[in-house]
Copies of this chain bind each other. A is one copy, B any other.
Amino acid sequence: MLHSYNCPNGRAMDGYADRLLNAIADKGTPCIVGLDPRIDQMPLFTKNSGSSSSTYEETVHDSIMAYHRCVVDAVADMIPAIKIQSAFFEQYGIGGMRAFYDTIHYAKKKGLMVIADAKRGDIGSTAQAYANAFLSGETNGEPDKRALADCLTISPYLGKDSIDPFIKTCMKYGTGVSILVKTTNPGSADVQNLTLSDGKKVHEHVAEMVNSYSSENPGANGYSSIGAVVGATFPEEARKLRKMMPHAIFLVPGYGHQGGSAKNAALCFNNDGLGAVVSASRSITYDFKSLDIAEEKCVSEIRLKTEAMISDINAAIKR
């Protein structure tokens, strides 16, 4: 089993899971912050930054980046990774997508790993194009134009041959995927909780698919770069899913604004205190709606919120 990969410039590097576990150990927490840009939720200084630019595309880009640089600077020494939600960038058109790429580059430059939450999924050849877009860093040999994330969320609805191209790309480039298993929303029950003829739920069947991928592709530390999305909002499911996918790293959204508690999020960890990252977006980054606040004050408030989350989550995890 290979544990190192060639990154685009030819240096060997560890796989996603190993790099993430190192970053978690380094920062002392599995908490991550999510960036779901909504310009109307950002403090005034970011809009002023944008409004001096000439085109809509530049205004959007500059506003988002002013805020994201502020957030990244605030949390870079505290957490292992950020999660960026593609939809909120896409809604701003090209300026938003440019900010998506630039947020990745800025965060990586500041030593953060980046999880692209885009929930992509398609038939094989198209899935390969998505893998190229987010996880290969080799799209047409132009490294500065690519959205090279460390990890991408993907959907299982199209089945294994839609997942395989992502896995192959991850194994080649040391990147990772988190496969949607049980999402945070109430409506996740509509399909994910359907009971199958063998008594299992649909999401449990998907968990078995994920477990076979993660067991077959372990990193040096026993955890795999092929992980799962499991929300912090359904404790019973989390407890069961943790046992079903021992080698998978769980990406755990739903803490904070969506109502998931630290106690629930903690159920997504193994007894070694590892195996998950817990993400909060709105509860950390959305409280500055058009607020006329200095950037330094904004940074310190984001640090306080992040510290509070870290204390809450770290205390809840059994070790």
Cβ–Cβ contact B191 & A145, under 8 A? no
Cβ–Cβ contact B161 & A56, under 8 A? no
Cβ–Cβ contact B159 & A192, under 8 A? yes
| Given A87-B129, A101-B94, A202-B194, A157 contacting B160 (CB threshold 8 A) | no
- The verdict on A314 contacting chain B, using a C-beta distance below 8 Å, is no
| Given A56-B145, A121-B155, A186-B161, A101 contacting B93 (CB threshold 8 A) | yes
Chain B proximity mask over A190-201: 1 for CB below 8 Å, otherwise 0: 111011110100
Shortest CB-to-CB span from A15 to chain B, Å, is 22
Partner of A157, one of B94, B134, B156: B156
- The verdict on A108 contacting chain B, using a C-beta distance below 8 Å, is no
> In the bound complex, what is the Cα–Cα distance between A206 and B98 (angstroms)?
35
> In the bound complex, what is the Cα–Cα distance between A187 and B159 (angstroms)?
5
- The verdict on A237 contacting chain B, using a C-beta distance below 8 Å, is no
> In the bound complex, what is the Cα–Cα distance between A148 and B87 (angstroms)?
15
Cβ–Cβ contact B155 & A157, under 8 A? yes
Cβ–Cβ contact B126 & A85, under 8 A? yes
Cβ–Cβ contact A119 & B194, under 8 A? no
Shortest CB-to-CB span from A216 to chain B, Å, is 16
- The verdict on A270 contacting chain B, using a C-beta distance below 8 Å, is no
Shortest CB-to-CB span from A84 to chain B, Å, is 12
Which one, A67-75, A177-185, A217-225, A291-299, is touching chain B? A177-185
Partner of A161, one of B36, B57, B98, B187: B187
> In the bound complex, what is the Cα–Cα distance between A49 and B39 (angstroms)?
37
Determine the chain B residues whose CB is within 8 A of the CB of A157 once the complex forms. 155-157, 180, 183, 191-192
- The verdict on A189 contacting chain B, using a C-beta distance below 8 Å, is yes
Residues of A46-100 whose CB lies within 8 A of B: 56-57, 60, 85, 87-88, 90-95, 97-98
Cβ–Cβ contact B139 & A92, under 8 A? yes
> In the bound complex, what is the Cα–Cα distance between A160 and B183 (angstroms)?
13
A38's nearest neighbour on chain B, judged by CB, is B129
A36's nearest neighbour on chain B, judged by CB, is B126
- The verdict on A122 contacting chain B, using a C-beta distance below 8 Å, is yes
Determine the chain B residues whose CB is within 8 A of the CB of A155 once the complex forms. 119, 121, 155, 157
User: What are 17 A-B interface contacts by the 8 Å CB criterion?
Assistant: A39-B140, A56-B140, A87-B129, A90-B133, A90-B134, A91-B139, A94-B94, A94-B101, A119-B120, A124-B185, A158-B188, A159-B188, A159-B190, A160-B190, A163-B187, A191-B206, A202-B202
Closest 5 A/B residue pairs (Cβ)? A159-B187, A161-B187, A159-B190, A93-B145, A87-B129
